[in-house]
């Protein structure tokens, strides 16, 4: 037996002796118990904090192992969570005036533009009038997989998203323990038409018809239960922008009571309201400059659209 072999055998005997030592076993158990207590305490603290920071979430993401882009609608006040599936072969009008593309190209465009998933959420809001406030890459798909291991990886994994850990925990806890996930395939609704696209290939085009069931999914109780109203002042130079954002706000539950055209001006958009909750919610979707105006009623919104309006 060589010198190295004798040394390895000696170390192995010492480790076995140490492992069978009652004092060593006690120390290991104590460390493991302490670690378990700390992890349990952290979990319950996170649970308490998460429960106090619940918010309605509408998140868009390219679904893993699928040819769809998904829009997950999570409402803590609703017993259902909805997953809307959009075929990536759908022709969409990309936000930020980037033209018409198949939906499958939008994520790459967002990387090229340096805005990551924000371009995807904006484009879905612009094209479908769905009020998307969040975005993520494919790794969030684990949350809707039904597989606990994949769900946990989606909560604690590192990937591109504007959801924070508490948003992901809220979705995880709800779907893992007490919620039903409803799947809606947009290709099977009147919102999409199967047709030949400008490139000569088959795909889907967006019709001018809104499905009432889907509209109800995107209606936000923050607005629909408070008789929220909006007056739009259009300085973008495009009537379609005012009509589009007005339609989306009506889907959310906000009644459009005025739409006025003014001289064009170089800005994105300005949102005025005397309701801070309204402002925070709308800013997560359209990214306007906020103007908290106490002279306006709690249910009133004024929206000014400039030439640089992204939707």
CATH (domain of 301)? 3.30.70
Q: Tokens standing for 97?
A: 């005036």
Least confident among 30-34, 118-122, 255-259, 265-269? 30-34
Residue 75 falls inside a structural domain: yes
In a domain, 86, yes or no: yes
Could you report how far apart the first and last alpha carbons of the chain are, in Å? 77
- Are 153 and 192 contained in the same domain? yes
Q: Do 71 and 187 share a structural domain?
A: yes
| H or E element at residue 50 | helix 22-52
Cβ atoms of residues 265 and 247 within 8 Å: no
If you average pLDDT over residues 154-169, what whole number do you get?
89
Is residue 173 domain-shared with residue 246, that is, in the same domain? no
User: 63-114: per-residue pLDDT in tens?
Assistant: 887 789 999 998 877 767 899 999 999 999 999 889 999 999 998 898 888 8
Q: Are residues 85 and 186 in the same domain?
A: yes
Residue 280 lies inside a defined structural domain of this protein? yes
Residues 99 and 127 both lie in one domain: yes
CATH of the domain at 123: 3.30.420.590
Asked if residue 213 belongs to a domain, the reply is: no
What does the pLDDT read at residue 234? 96
Among 182, 206, 230, which residue terminates a domain?
206
Residue 214 lies in a domain: no
Residue span of the structural domain in which 46 resides: 3-52
Q: Is the pLDDT of residue 273 over 60?
A: yes
Determine contact, residues 218/237, Cβ cutoff 8 Å.
no
Q: Are strands 289-292 and 255-261 parallel, antiparallel or unpaired?
A: unpaired
Q: How far apart (Å, rounded) are the C-alpha atoms in residues 309 and 103?
A: 21
Q: In total, how many domains does the chain have?
A: 3
Could you tell me if residue 212 is inside a domain? no
Mean pLDDT of 210-217: 87
pLDDT tens digit sequence for 22-43: 655 666 677 777 777 666 655 6
Does residue 141 fall inside a structural domain? yes
Q: Could you say which of 175, 206, 237 is where a domain stops?
A: 206
226 & 239 share domain: yes
Residue 11 pLDDT more than 60? no
Co-location of 173 and 224 in the same domain: no
Does one domain contain both 286 and 176? no
What is the pLDDT of the chain when averaged over all its residues?
Answer: 84
Structure token digits, residue 101: 């593309």
Which residue did the predictor score with more confidence, 282 or 304?
304
Would you say residue 44 lies in a domain? yes
Does pLDDT of 123 surpass 90? yes
CB contact at 8 A, 82 and 69:
no
Q: Are residues 62 and 193 in the same domain?
A: yes
- Of the candidates 61, 122, 118, the one whose C-alpha atom is nearest the C-alpha of residue 86 is 61
- Identify the domain boundary among 166, 183, 206: 206
Same-domain check for residues 201 and 258: no
Angle among Cα 73, 174, 285 to the nearest 5 degrees reads 30
Assess contact for 60 and 124: CB atoms under 8 A: yes
Same domain, 47 and 71: no
Single out the residue of 225, 200, 176 nearest to residue 47, CA to CA: 176
61 and 169 co-located in one domain: yes
Q: Where are the beta strands (DSSP E) in the chain?
A: 57-62, 68-74, 80-87, 91-93, 100-102, 134-135, 180-185, 192-196, 202-206, 229-234, 255-261, 269-273, 289-292, 300-305
Q: What is each CA distance from 212 to 189, 191, 216, in whole angstroms? A: 10, 10, 6
User: The pTM is what?
Assistant: 0.80
């Amino acid at each position: 037996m060589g010198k190295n072999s004798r040394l390895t055998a000696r170390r192995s005997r010492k480790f076995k002796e140490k492992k069978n030592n009652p004092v060593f076993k006690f120390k290991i158990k104590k460390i493991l118990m302490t670690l378990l207590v700390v992890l349990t305490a952290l979990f319950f603290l996170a649970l308490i904090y998460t429960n106090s920071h619940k918010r309605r979430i509408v998140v868009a993401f390219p679904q893993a192992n699928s040819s769809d882009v998904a829009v997950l609608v999570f409402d803590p006040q609703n017993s259902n969570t909805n997953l809307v599936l959009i075929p990536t072969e759908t022709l969409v009008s990309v936000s930020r005036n980037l033209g018409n593309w198949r939906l499958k190209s939008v994520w790459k465009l967002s990387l090229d533009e340096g805005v990551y998933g924000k371009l995807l959420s904006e484009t879905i809001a612009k094209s479908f009038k769905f009020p998307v406030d969040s975005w993520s890459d494919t790794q969030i798909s684990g949350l809707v997989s039904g597989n606990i291991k994949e769900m946990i990886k989606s909560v604690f994994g590192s990937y591109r998203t504007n959801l924070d850990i508490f948003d992901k925990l809220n979705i995880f806890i709800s779907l893992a323990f007490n919620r039903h996930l409803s799947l809606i395939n947009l290709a099977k609704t009147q919102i999409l038409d199967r047709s030949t696209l400008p490139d000569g290939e088959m795909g889907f085009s967006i019709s001018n018809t809104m499905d009432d069931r889907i509209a109800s999914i995107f209606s936000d109780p923050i607005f629909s239960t408070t008789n929220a109203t909006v007056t739009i002042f259009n300085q973008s130079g495009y009537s379609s922008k005012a009509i589009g954002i007005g339609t989306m706000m009506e889907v959310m539950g906000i009644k459009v009571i005025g739409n006025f055209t003014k001289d064009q001006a170089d800005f994105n958009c300005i949102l005025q309201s005397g309701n801070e909750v309204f402002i925070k919610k709308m800013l997560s979707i359209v990214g306007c400059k906020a103007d908290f105006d106490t002279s306006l009623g709690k249910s009133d919104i004024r929206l000014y659209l400039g030439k640089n309006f992204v939707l």
